[in-house]
Amino acid sequence: MTPAASAPPRVVVGITGASGAVYGVRLLERLRELRVHTHLVVTSAGVLNVHHELGLDRGALEQLADEVHALADVGACIASGSHPTAAMVVAPCSMKTLASIAHGFGDNLLTRAADVTLKERRRLVLMVRETPFNLAHLRNMTAVTEMGAIVFPPLPAFYHRPQSISELVDDTVERVIELTGVGLGQPRRWTGL
């Protein structure tokens, strides 16, 4: 059974403990503005990092999503391919989570939902955060790319001459929304010199 034509698209958002919590939070805010139904799964390190980097507690973070799932709840709807979603974004994606996805562990709801996204041939965007990369990181990125995921390190574009960090974040988030395939992203377009 597919959702009604008038139903909003559904996107799963995962937030891990890598630096860059602002990307996950801004993604949730933007998807809400675009009337995209969101499912949120956050690791314990993700909650810690959202608090450290942005000063938000778990409750404030969870209010940004339409549905919130506990990390250990592998019986949640998003753990099954029969639950229709358009895409999943892990923003930010730690190297631990990347490795779990690359090796098909599915040991918590976030990695299980990513596995479901891949097996159902839906869009999976991983905003990996680490620098520099070691060989294990690179091999894991290659593995998930070969499985169909999109590896999207949140590297800022400077050719639009951004005036603030929020401008850089917004441009990156709009590009990620476009990659989900829900047809609502509004990144700034390069028109040439």
pLDDT in tens, 118-176: 999 999 999 999 999 999 999 999 999 999 999 999 998 898 899 999 999 999 999 99
**Rounded average pLDDT over 3-18:** 87
* Phi and psi angles of residue 66, each rounded to the nearest 5 degrees, phi first: -80, -40
Summarised one tens digit per residue, pLDDT across range 94-113 is 999 999 999 999 999 999 99
- Domains of the chain in sequence order: 13-179 (3.40.50.1950)
Q: Binding site for FMN: residue ranges?
A: 17-19, 43, 94-97, 129
Output the pLDDT for position 191.
Answer: 80
Distance between CA 137 and CA 77 in Å, rounded? 30
**Rounded average pLDDT over 60-64:** 98
Q: Binding site: residue ranges?
A: 17-19, 43, 94-97, 129, 159, 175
Best CA proximity match to 18, nearest among 123, 160, 154, 146: 154
Percentage helix, strand, coil, to 5, in the chain? 40, 15, 45
Reading the block at residue 154, the tokens are: 């949140």
Q: Binding site for dimethylallyl phosphate: residue ranges?
A: 159, 175
